[in-house]
């Protein structure tokens, strides 16, 4: 059945209230989430329910409390019933039955919940649904008083609430096997580790430059870990992957000037703790589907995968598995630091503590070691020749030279692109060729991150086809020279290597201004 509830925030004048339609089988834990959405609370404080009148019988001697049992909340977990088990129909049986929802035991925001009607479900209707909403929300942490009730257009307020409730309703209505994917075995473990990490609060005794490493047993690569939170602003753990991740981390810790395009080269997995309203619906659904809930300021875990050229995204199944191992070992190291283990501050030529995986009798064991923080310096080599000789021959047959020197460069677009709704967005790489003489653009193209070297060589050939000639001279960076070298040598094009590209930078600046970045 469907319950029509009127929920009123007590001691507000004129009253702030919402009329909601909800499933009678909804748990009180889900009703808590619904009320948070309807009243625009942020999930920063503790809450509970009080049963005042059930089956039309007033509980005069004492009220019954229903809440979330958590052994870590000493003094705040002694409830009569568990909200994750109890449903609305257990307590609201007949019309005019009442519950009280208490949010923030300091400010003591009390919401009276009255069962107004019991209705049959309507086909095609999505529940929970807000029928009517009067007046804007109270402010979080305002002392339990509303100095001035905000008058808001009821229809606009209702629409805004239902937009958020629809997201929540989608998660509630999904069949169980549709809610799960191949990450299901690892997500609950990862969330449990994240909760332990937040409770341990290693940022209270570790700075972000006290780096340690954890080896991935599958790939053998090291994750270089930095604790976030010493400044009291952002809390969590950043794990930078492999040698590229280490190089990026060095630039951050040293505070050195990083090329602005370097942010697109960051390869890491980041756990950050935020407020509930900062989570995306996907983040929230993952937590709910795993059976977890979090309370308080900066307590909700958010995981992000950062891959060069791509927009920060949810973790893949492989990343969930790998990061669970990293977080597990990070907890071990942080607990030992709390007990006296010393981790030295970052030094570019120094070493860092690392935990390496060793298999003994088919069992994975972990041992402490120290590894150099000096990234492997490998001499960059020219790319392979990725295009066909036939494509190259088309330009050679032109028997014509483009005599104006060209400045050719690449930069990332600031705006991400998503080709398909289910695909991870990426930052297109902008390939630009312009005349050195007057800065006129003769060719430009947007590239996807995959098969980068092959696509750059192909676009250079397209440039020759567009010009109907072979460029005589190109001014390019060392990086681009290494990618194009096999093509440039075959076409006998003169190369001038330059570190700074003023024309390309001016084009980049103009494009960013045009698109509003």
Q: First vs last Cα of the chain: how many Å apart?
A: 51
Mean pLDDT over residues 287-315, rounded?
A: 90
Please determine, for residue 120, whether its predicted confidence score (pLDDT) is greater than 70.
yes
- 167 versus 138: which is more confidently predicted? 138
pLDDT confidence bin for 178, thresholds 50/70/90: very low
CA distances, 226 to each of 7, 348, 436, 440, 466 (Å): 45, 15, 44, 45, 49
383-400: pLDDT as tens digits: 999 988 888 887 877 778
pTM of the model: 0.62
Using only C-alpha atoms, the chain has a radius of gyration, in whole angstroms, of: 30
> What local confidence, expressed as pLDDT, does residue 288 receive?
84
> What local confidence, expressed as pLDDT, does residue 455 receive?
93
57-89: pLDDT as tens digits: 666 556 788 887 654 454 555 778 888 888 898
Mean pLDDT over residues 203-232, rounded?
A: 93
Helix 452-467 crosses helix 389-396 at what angle (to 10 degrees)?
20
Tell how far CA 125 is from the center of its chain.
31
Using a 10 angstrom Cβ sphere, with 0-12 exposed, 13-18 middle and 19 or more buried, the burial of residue 488 is buried
Mean pLDDT over residues 31-39, rounded?
A: 94
Query: Residue 160 is encoded by which pair of tokens?
Result: 């805004």
Q: What are phi and psi of 23, to 5 degrees?
A: -70, 135
Q: How many residues does the chain have?
A: 517
- 189 versus 251: which is more confidently predicted? 189
Q: Cβ(22)–Cβ(121) under 8 Å?
A: no
pLDDT confidence bin for 195, thresholds 50/70/90: very high
Please determine, for residue 181, whether its predicted confidence score (pLDDT) is greater than 80.
no
Helix 452-467 crosses helix 478-491 at what angle (to 10 degrees)?
50
Chain-wide mean pLDDT for the chain? Answer: 86
Q: 3-class DSSP state for residue 417?
A: strand
Mean pLDDT over residues 116-134, rounded?
A: 91
pLDDT confidence bin for 459, thresholds 50/70/90: very high
Mean pLDDT over residues 169-186, rounded?
A: 51
324-367: pLDDT as tens digits: 999 999 999 999 999 999 998 887 678 899 999 887 666 778 99
């Amino acid at each position: 059945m469907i319950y029509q509830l009127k929920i009123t925030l007590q001691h507000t004048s004129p009253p702030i209230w919402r009329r909601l339609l909800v499933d009678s089988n909804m748990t009180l834990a889900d009703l808590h989430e619904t009320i948070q959405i309807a009243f625009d609370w942020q999930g920063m404080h503790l809450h509970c329910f009080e049963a005042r009148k059930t089956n039309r019988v007033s509980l005069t001697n004492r009220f019954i409390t229903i809440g979330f049992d958590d052994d870590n909340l000493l003094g705040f977990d002694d409830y009569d019933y568990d909200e994750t088990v109890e449903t609305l129909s257990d307590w609201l049986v007949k019309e005019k039955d009442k519950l009280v929802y208490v949010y923030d035991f300091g400010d003591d925001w009390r919401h009276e919940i009255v069962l107004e009607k019991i209705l049959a479900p309507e086909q095609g209707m999505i529940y929970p649904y807000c029928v009517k909403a009067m007046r804007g929300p109270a402010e979080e942490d305002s002392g339990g008083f509303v100095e001035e009730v905000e008058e808001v257009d009821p229809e606009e307020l209702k629409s805004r609430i239902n937009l958020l409730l629809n997201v929540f309703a989608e998660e509630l209505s999904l069949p169980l096997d549709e809610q799960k994917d191949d990450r299901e075995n690892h997500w609950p473990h990862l969330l449990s580790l994240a909760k332990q990490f937040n409770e341990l609060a290693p940022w209270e005794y570790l700075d972000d430059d006290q780096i340690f490493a954890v080896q991935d047993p599958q790939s053998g690569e090291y994750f270089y870990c930095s604790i976030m939170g010493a400044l009291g602003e952002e809390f969590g753990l950043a794990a930078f992957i492999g040698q590229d991740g280490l190089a990026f981390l060095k630039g951050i810790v040293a505070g050195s000037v990083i090329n602005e395009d370097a942010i697109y080269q960051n390869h890491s997995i980041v756990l950050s703790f935020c407020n509930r309203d900062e989570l995306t619906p996907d983040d929230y659904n993952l937590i709910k589907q795993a059976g977890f809930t979090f309370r308080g300021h900066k307590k909700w875990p958010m995981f992000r995968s950062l891959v060069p050229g791509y927009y920060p995204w949810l973790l893949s199944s492989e990343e969930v598995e790998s990061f669970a191992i990293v977080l597990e070992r990070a907890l071990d190291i942080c607990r030992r630091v709390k007990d006296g283990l010393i981790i030295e501050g970052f030094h570019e030529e120094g070493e860092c503590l690392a935990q390496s995986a060793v298999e003994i009798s088919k069992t994975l064991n972990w041992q402490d070691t120290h590894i150099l923080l000096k990234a492997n310096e490998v001499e960059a080599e020219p790319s392979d020749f990725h295009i066909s000789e036939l494509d190259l021959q088309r330009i050679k047959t032109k028997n014509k030279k483009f005599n104006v020197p060209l400045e050719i460069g690449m930069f990332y677009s600031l705006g991400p692109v998503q080709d398909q709704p289910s695909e991870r967005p990426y930052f297109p790489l902008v390939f630009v060729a312009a005349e050195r003489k007057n800065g006129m653009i003769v060719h430009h193209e947007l590239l996807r991150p995959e098969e980068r070297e092959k696509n750059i060589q192909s676009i250079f050939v397209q440039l020759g086809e567009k010009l109907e000639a072979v460029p005589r001279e190109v001014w390019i960076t060392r990086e681009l020279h290494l990618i194009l070298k096999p093509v440039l040598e075959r076409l006998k094009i003169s190369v001038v290597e330059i570190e700074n590209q003023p024309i390309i930078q001016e084009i980049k600046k103009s494009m960013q201004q045009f698109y509003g970045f």
